[in-house]
Chain A
Amino acid sequence: MSTGLWICRTCLYRIARPTTRLVQWSVRFQSTNSATEAIPPSLLDRARSISLEHQKLTDQLANGFDTRAAKKLGEYSAIVNALKEWDKANESMTELTSLIHDPTSDAELRELAADDLEATKEQLQHASQSLVTSLVPVHPFAHLPCLIEIRPGAGGSEAAIFAGDLLRMYQAFCNRSGFRATLLKYENTNGTTEAGVPLSEAILEVEKENAYGIFRSEAGVHRVQRVPATETKGRTHTSAASVLVLPSLQENSVSQEAIDDPESDYYIDVKEVRSEVMRASGAGGQHVNKTESAVRLTHIPTNTVVAMQDSRSQMKNKEKAWTLLRSRVAQIRREKREEEMVALRRSVVGVAKMGRGDKVRTYNYGQQRVTDHRSGMSVQNLDDVMEGGLALEKVMESVAGWLMEQDVKALIAEDLHKKNKK
């Protein structure tokens, strides 16, 4: 009979198991999008087609003057010039690289080529940048300051906690980038404005001129995967918070004419708004000295409700509520008008849904990873992202690039659509 040490069975099994299983590899076998190039291919395609058309127009103009063609030519010439420059830079770039890699070339020549390469690279970068800016359509609201609304989504109090984290992330980002950000509204799950309690709604106003252009890529559902503070058994939960980004229509950003002009998005007929103020039941007048100053506005056609009770002054509450209502209604109208266009884009490009549709980004605390599902960009530096650091900026830039590419693809699709119609 063998008299060895007694070893528990689980430990024995443990020894038998290959050690590699003990280490978890954080590998993602999935990527949502191709890596971004210097210039998106779709952009280049569009530039080429435009330059072809430009050629055609020049020929047409040589035969006889046409105002419309001339106008179009003027519009296109900037793009064509940029493209020419880019082509030139690209050509010299390929030439130089081939020279360097060619084993038959002189050592001295190779050195010279290497020197030149740097300058050409810079030139190419410059050219591609000017090409992109000349091609990409600018979002009509991009120049405006913006409102970032954060609300918890699915996931109960963990979602509310994460919503608070997101708010802090954006505040830190604004701090770091030197944008002035003010909290318009802050409400935690208790219905008070005390900080540190899970968030139920927050509106952050970023008072930077082109803040909407910067933050508009942030809109959507942000997903978090982590072990919540409220979890007792150490299980990982998946929750979500939604981020809504609206252009902020302050008095200085929207002219009075735009508000008065019935054609404008910002125009709201006073008759269509039900305004409610708090009134004490009963006698009123000298009989009571109420302090309620809450104002609620309802835009009846869109059923948009805005309530404000932050200030003691009813007038101030009313002003704030009108500002908020204007921007919400303008956003709704814009979305409505663009719905057709979006449907068209989706049918052609097959873009992931934007706005409040699917999740746009995942924050995985277990793997310390942040992945944006639109650009396919993943960064491992989650803490830096949550502190609004450079990593967040990197992610946001990648999304901005992706958005731009989508815009261009959609543009091409629209062009095609128009041509087909003709």
Chain B
Amino acid sequence: MPRIATSLLKKAYTLDRLLPPLLRTTRDLQAAVNELRWLREHVESDPKKAISNELRARSKYLKRSSKEAVSNGLRILHEQLKRNPKKAISRQVVRLVRERAKGTPLQYLLGSEYFGDLELACRPGVLIPRQDTANTISHLAQLVRNPNNKLPPELRVLDLCTGSGCIPLLFGHELRKTRRDITYRMLGVDVSTKALALASDNLAAVQSAPGVSNLFSSPKNANSEAEQGEERQEEGKEGKVIANFLSANVLLSPFVAQSDEYYSTPPLFTALNRAGHPRLWDIVISNPPYISPAAYWKTTTRSVRGFEPTLALVPPPQSSAEPWSSLPWIPPPSAVQLFPRTRDGPPTQQGENGDTFYTPLLSIAALVEAKIVLLEIADAEQAVRVARLGKNMNFDGVEIWREQPDVRDGAPSSTSNSTTPEHGGNGDEEQAEGNQEERSEDTIDGIPIVGAGNARCVVFWRGVGATWLGKE
């Protein structure tokens, strides 16, 4: 990582003495300025919390004194801070900046992240929703909600490895924008209990949010709610969103010897069965861990590596997914060409390319008879590998989407690499950066690729899914 120029540090210091530490993480002055502003706004919005945090921090120093002295001191301090909360606020800001300088993601510090239109909660231990994923999901929703599409009265969407629950929540929210006649059944599946807790919190927050309040309904018991949903449909033509989260292990095959964890986080179909969820789903979406162990150390940023859960980023070695390929309806690995030879160099080793999840995911998609499958991937190479994998599983078509799939070919849109736009907005400034690596080709290894930016996901479709995506 290049050194931060002294001149930049000096400039930052003259603006605000809290900016230089932020620069350690952001590397960019404008980003640091923005982050400092958001941190300040966050702390100022809740002075009570700032005061309580301040008291907690002070009580650490008072521990050695007697109990009475501590309680007295704290009471006096509390009075003082109540009268003048500014001090507590500024200290809290400094504390947060210090955390951020160490690399803690801003989203964890602020406790939320914007995902499309939604503001979702974020907590350590659960992957922070990414902007790219939001773009992809919004684009897919835009295609599917086309009023000309003939959708089933209940559209079922299965999100595997849901994390914070961002995908089902945003997808349902987006679909409801134009297609209100249909009931959407959303199911998010994850193996992590932390993730599931956060996902249900997010669901509750979305339900109580103004504007979307009556869109979502989450059943305590899936069966009873399913009946309710049907009743409501008969009454009027108004559908709704039924969102659920389920604890299951996507990688576990139902045919292997049952270990202890089988009962806590069972394989997907076992879990579906137990919770009384349907077995067939129309759309399968997944943003699984896809970073290879090598790339984890090389390409992830410090705040990702040090603070986000590895469980959500790096898949386990391939061996744990092996049983899937022994299923009778899955072609053997040789036919699937799981590990194609790279042009120069030895064949990639099992589990070293981060592809562990894709075989189980595609198998599940085949078993639930999914019409559309959308899988997020790391880069173009992985996209090609995954697309090949799917081609052998009898999908009708496959396509790779870039980070901004909604940008049409030839449209004058580009993304500038990590440069912040001038804040001036004067009409006469010249555009220095042009289109970079975008749209250099329309196919990769014969697989069509759309949008602008890096390759971000692979989309498969089968049967009626093609019309939903507007392919026919």
Which residues of A are interface residues toward B (Cβ below 8 A)?
187, 190-194, 201, 271-294, 296, 298, 300, 302-307, 309, 311-316, 324, 328
B residues in contact with A287, CB < 8 Å: 291, 295, 299-301, 304, 378
Q: Are B403 and A284 in contact (CB under 8 A)?
A: yes
A284/B132 contact (C-beta < 8 A), A187-B423, A312-B38 known: yes
Given the contacts A283-B378, A284-B456, A285-B132, A307 and B15 also touching, CB distance less than 8 Å = no
Chain B residue with minimal CB distance to A194? B16
Across-interface contacts of A285 in B (CB, < 8 A): 130, 132, 290, 376-378, 454, 456
Cβ contacts A to B, 7 pairs, < 8 Å: A274-B414, A281-B418, A286-B312, A287-B304, A289-B304, A312-B38, A314-B114
Q: Which B residues are CB-close (under 8 A) to A276?
A: 413-416, 421
Q: When chains A and B are docked, how far (Å) is the Cα of A5 from the Cα of B466?
A: 112
Which residue on B lies nearest to A304, using beta carbons?
B427
Say yes or no: A278-B14 contact (C-beta < 8 A), given A191-B33, A286-B127, A305-B425.
no
Q: Which residue of B lies closest to A149 (CB)?
A: B425
- In the complex, the answer to whether B415 meets A277 with C-beta atoms within 8 Å is yes
Question: Which residue in B33, B105, B114, B412 is a CB contact (below 8 Å) of A293?
Answer: B114
Quote the shortest CB–CB distance from B222 to chain A (angstroms).
30
What are the residues of chain B within 8 A of A300 when measuring CB–CB?
A: 412
**CB–CB A282/B299 < 8 A:** yes
Report the minimal beta-carbon distance from A282 to chain B, rounded to whole angstroms.
Answer: 6
Q: With the chains together, A244 CA to B425 CA distance in Å?
A: 14
The 4 lowest CB-CB distance pairs between A and B, nearest first, are A313-B114, A296-B421, A307-B421, A281-B417
A293: chain B residues at CB < 8 Å are 34, 114, 131
CA distance A194 to B110 in the complex (A): 21
Cβ of B15 and Cβ of A190 under 8 Å apart?
A: yes
Which of B291, B413, B454 meets A286, CB within 8 Å?
A: B291
Chain A residue nearest to B287 (CB atoms) is A286
Contacts of B304 in A (CB 8 A): 286-289
Main SS at interface, chain B: loop
List which B14-61 residues lie within 8 A (CB) of chain A.
14-16, 26, 29-31, 33-35, 37-38
Enumerate chain B residues within 8 angstroms of A294, measured Cβ to Cβ: 30, 34, 420-421
Residue ID in chain B nearest A300 by CB atoms = B412
- Cβ-based interface call for B235 (8 A): no
Cα distance A259–B90 in the bound complex, in angstroms: 45
Q: Is B261 an interface residue (CB 8 A)?
A: no
- The answer to whether the Cβ of B431 comes within 8 Å of any Cβ in the partner chain is yes
User: B291, A290: Cβ atoms under 8 Å?
Assistant: no
Q: How many Å lie between the Cα of A190 and that of B12 in the bound state? A: 10
A316 to B38, CA, bound (A): 15
Residues of B within 8 A of A306 (CB): 425
Contact A305 B453 (CB under 8 A): no
* Contacting pair A314 B131 (CB below 8 A): yes
Given contacts A289-B308, A293-B131, 15 further A-B contacts (CB under 8 A): A192-B33, A194-B16, A278-B418, A281-B417, A283-B379, A285-B130, A286-B289, A286-B300, A286-B313, A289-B304, A291-B26, A300-B412, A314-B114, A315-B117, A328-B427
In Å, the complex CA distance between A306 and B423 comes to: 8
Give complex CA distance A309, B425 in Å: 12
A residues near B128, Cβ cutoff 8 Å: 289
Complex Cα spacing A278 to B113, Å: 16
Residue of chain A at shortest CB distance from B436 = A281
- CB-based contact A283/B106 at 8 Å: no
Q: How far is the CA of A289 from the CA of B126 in the complex (A)?
A: 13
Tell me the complex Cα distance, A300–B411, Å: 12
Chain B residue nearest to A277 in the complex (CB)? B415
User: B119 on the interface (CB 8 Å rule)?
Assistant: yes
Q: B467 contacts the other chain (Cβ, under 8 Å)?
A: no
Contacts of A291 in B (CB 8 A): 26, 31, 34-35, 38, 106-107
Q: Are A305 and B291 in contact (CB under 8 A)?
A: no
**Which A residue sits closest to B127, measured CB to CB?**
A286
A290 touches B421 (CB 8 A): no
B427: A residues at CB distance < 8 A = 302-305, 328
Determine the distance from Cα of A225 to Cα of B421 in the docked complex, in whole angstroms.
35
Distance of A193 Cα from B33 Cα, bound (Å): 9
Q: Which of A283, A290, A302, A314 has the most CB of B within 10 A?
A: A290
CB distance from B47 to the nearest CB of A (A): 19
- Which residue of the partner chain A has the closest CB to B456? A285
Q: Which of A276, A293, A316 has the most CB of B within 10 A?
A: A276
Contact, CB under 8 Å: A279 / B412: no
Question: How far apart sit A30 and B91, CA to CA, in the bound complex (Å)?
Answer: 58
Instruction: Write the nearest CB–CB distance from B185 to chain A, whole angstroms.
Output: 26
User: CB-defined interface of B284-322 with A at 8 Å, one 1/0 digit per residue?
Assistant: 000101110001000111011000100011000000000
Once the chains bind, are B299 and A278 in contact (CB under 8 Å)? no
A279 to B303, Cβ gap below 8 A? no
Bound Cα distance A141, B272 (Å): 60
Does B259 have its Cβ within 8 Å of any Cβ on chain A? no
Distance A324 CA – B424 CA, assembled complex (angstroms): 13
